[in-house]
Structure formats: structure tokens, C-alpha cells
């Protein structure tokens, strides 16, 4: 609904450039693309699906093959995105669901993300912030879960609470 609301605010002839970061298995994409299409907005969208893993990009190309014009690119959020073939100020909207916490340095990653936004662009992030042991059991073996090095911000756990997220901006 947030993405649709943003799209509705644009002039009819303006293209909305969306970058999805850490798109992985395409769970978020699966929800957004049909909504944009149903609302008749797909023709005014440039959607770039990114992940650090080329494997997920190949799967996404198959999964979303009905959506013409989709772009698929490797993006390592921990590395300067300009050094990876992305242009500064290229995106109106950046989406990321539970991806930023799985990095070594959240503030550095947020800076890398910010440089991709047009002036006045929006970044919609959704991050888990409750620490449950069962989450650690499920995701604790994945790359990135315990890789954080920003110990002043995250002294004991990959997830930040709401106040810690606020302090990153």
C-alpha cells in the first residue's frame, strides 16, 4: 500500500525508479509487482531487483519473467554501490525488507543506500527488532547474521531495537 501511495503522487507521465535491495527469494517483489500491475502503474515503473547472490537473480529472472523491463543486478550493500555500476541519485524509491541488519556496519550500508536516492527520494526499510531465540535458531547459521562489526551500535546482537534504529539517522 505504501508503494502504491507513492506511485499515485507522481505525475502520470513520470517514471518511478524503484530499487529493491537484498531481494533474495523475491518475497517482497511477489507482493509489489501484481499490485502495481493491477493498479495500472506498471508502465510507469523501472524496477531493479538486486541481491548479493547471483543465484537469487537467476531465480528471480524466471519467477518474474512476465514483467517486461525488470532489471536484475548484483548489489553488495557493504561495498560502494558506485563502484558496482550503479549511478548516484538513480532511484526514487529504495525498498529493503530485513536486509540491512545482515551487514557488518549498518551506518556504512545506510550511506551506500542513500547515495543511490534522488534528492527527496524515499527509502522504505522494514527490519525485525525484537530479539527472539527462535529467530536466532532459524537464521543464526546464515551468512551475515553474526558478521556485524559495528559493536558500538550492536554490542551483542545483529538486530537493533527501535531506539537504536532512530540513532542511526
The 10s digit of each residue's pLDDT in 93-151 is 999 998 998 898 999 999 999 999 999 999 999 887 767 776 766 676 776 777 888 99
Q: Is the pTM of this model over 0.85?
A: yes
Q: What 8-state DSSP symbol labels residue 88?
A: T
Q: What 8-state DSSP symbol labels residue 73?
A: E
The 8 Å CB, 24+ separation contacts for 128-136 are 128/98, 128/101, 128/159, 129/159, 129/160, 129/161, 129/162, 129/164, 129/165, 130/159, 131/157, 131/159, 135/159
The 10s digit of each residue's pLDDT in 68-83 is 989 999 999 999 999 9
Report which of 125, 137, 136 is spatially closest to residue 162, judged by C-alpha positions: 125
Amino acid at each position: 500500500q505504501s508503494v502504491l501511495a507513492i506511485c499515485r503522487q507522481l505525475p502520470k507521465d513520470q517514471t518511478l525508479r524503484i530499487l529493491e535491495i537484498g531481494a533474495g527469494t523475491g518475497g517482497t517483489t511477489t507482493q509489489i509487482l501484481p499490485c502495481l500491475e493491477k493498479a495500472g502503474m506498471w508502465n510507469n515503473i523501472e524496477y531493479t531487483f538486486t541481491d548479493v547472490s547471483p543465484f537469487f537473480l537467476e531465480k528471480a529472472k524466471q519467477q518474474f519473467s512476465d514483467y517486461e523491463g525488470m532489471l536484475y543486478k548484483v548489489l553488495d550493500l557493504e561495498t560502494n554501490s558506485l563502484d558496482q555500476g550503479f549511478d548516484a541519485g538513480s532511484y526514487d524509491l529504495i525498498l529493503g525488507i530485513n536486509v540491512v541488519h545482515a551487514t557488518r556496519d549498518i551506518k556504512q550500508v545506510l550511506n551506500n543506500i542513500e547515495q543511490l536516492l534522488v534528492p527527496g527520494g524515499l527509502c522504505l526499510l522494514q527490519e525485525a527488532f525484537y530479539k527472539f531465540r527462535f529467530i536466532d535458531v532459524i537464521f543464526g547459521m546464515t551468512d551475515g547474521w553474526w558478521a556485524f562489526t559495528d559493536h558500538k551500535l550492536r554490542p551483542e546482537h545483529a538486530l537493533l531495537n527501535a531506539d537504536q534504529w532512530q540513532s542511526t539517522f
